Amino acid sequence: MQYRTLGRTGVQVSTLALGAMNFGAIGRTTQDEATAIVDAALEGGINLVDTADMYSAGESEKMVGKAIAGRREDIVLATKATMPMGDDRNHQGASRRWLVTELDNSLRRLGVDHVDLYQIHRWDPKTSDEETLSALTDLQRAGKIRYFGSSTFPAYRVVQAQWAAREHRLSRYVTEQPSYSILQRGIETHVLPVTEEYGLGVLAWSPLASGWLSGAVREGREITTNRSKVRPQRFDLAVPANRTRLEAVERLAKVADEAGLTLIQLALGFVTAHPAVTSAIIGPRTSEHLESQLAAADTVLPSDVLDAIDEIVAPGVDLAPDEKMDTPPSLLDPALRRR
């Protein structure tokens, strides 16, 4: 396993991080299975575990808490907030009122007195940067969080938050967690240059593109990724964009085979090759999934392989732009761009 500094914090984290989204109802993973995955991940050298309050409505945090009991100090523990937690309209977002309350809820579910990294899961357009950053700064000063970061922020919001922290003399985001894979390279255009400019750590989620790059989606074979049951439209091969992805996957599989690598090793090695990326977050649903992904822990792709990938999916290109989650609200809601 390789290790890198998380932004400018001085904290050393593994280049593969364990994501716990599949723990609980989402991935139908039991506590025993989750604990076995955490055990194997730590044994394999992973020291960063990432979860969120909304994963299976808090169940993931509870499972992570039980799995890490007794070895908290060996783990860089990260969680997230802002996504809806129930029907109450104020049980979501990035207001001081909610973040202070929900962090305590997360700490209780995790069974810890602090988290190392607390992340704003999505930008909240209804809440000012000053409101959010001042609340996070106070939680940091109270010792409940060590650092805080953003997740899936558009580049201009990353810049705006950095400016607001400086303007109001508050602590700043030290990480960004964007979606990044061979099939979704759009963040190379704006987000990654910005994170490098501000010295942010980057924790890339969905490096296997929801299973497209795991070998679970291949020509002429049954689709086996669990995500196809959750969002079947994203795997419907009658959709032209999905056919384009499948064609890219088949070409990438040939590149991997010629390089003596698995498709998973190629995909994870690509993400961690970018100088702006700190860690790739893997989200195994089973111990077998974890084993196949840990095989990429020391994968370093040579230049000719990276060049071959560029020929299949050009730098800065998203093969599934409709699935991006950092689109400005005004592009999604006509009421925000019309008078």
Active site residues: 55
CB-based burial of residue 75 (10 Å sphere; 0-12 exposed, 13-18 middle, 19+ buried)? buried
The phi-psi region of residue 37 (left if phi > 0; otherwise alpha if psi is between -120 and 50; otherwise beta) is alpha
In whole angstroms, what is the distance from residue 1 CA to residue 92 CA? 36
Taking Cα atoms as reference points, which of 192, 198, 156 lies closest to residue 177?
Answer: 192
CB 17 within 8 A of CB 50: yes
* Cβ-based neighbour number of residue 178 at 10 Å: 27
**Count, residues in the chain:** 339
* Chain position carrying tokens 């800065």: 316
Residue 333, φ and ψ in degrees, nearest 5: -120, 110
75 vs 271: CA distance, rounded Å: 22
How far is it, in rounded angstroms, from Cα 310 to Cα 252?
Answer: 10
Give φ, ψ of 262 to 5 degrees. Answer: -80, 165
Burial of 138 (0-12, 13-18, 19+ CB in 10 A): middle
- Cα 125 to Cα 13: distance, rounded to the nearest angstrom: 31
HEC string of 212-260 equals: CCCCCCCCCCCCCCCHHHHCHHHHCCCCHHHHHHHHHHHHHHHHHHHCC
Q: Helix, strand, coil proportions of the chain in percent (round to 5)? A: 45, 15, 40
Q: Distance between CA 90 and CA 141 in Å, rounded? A: 24
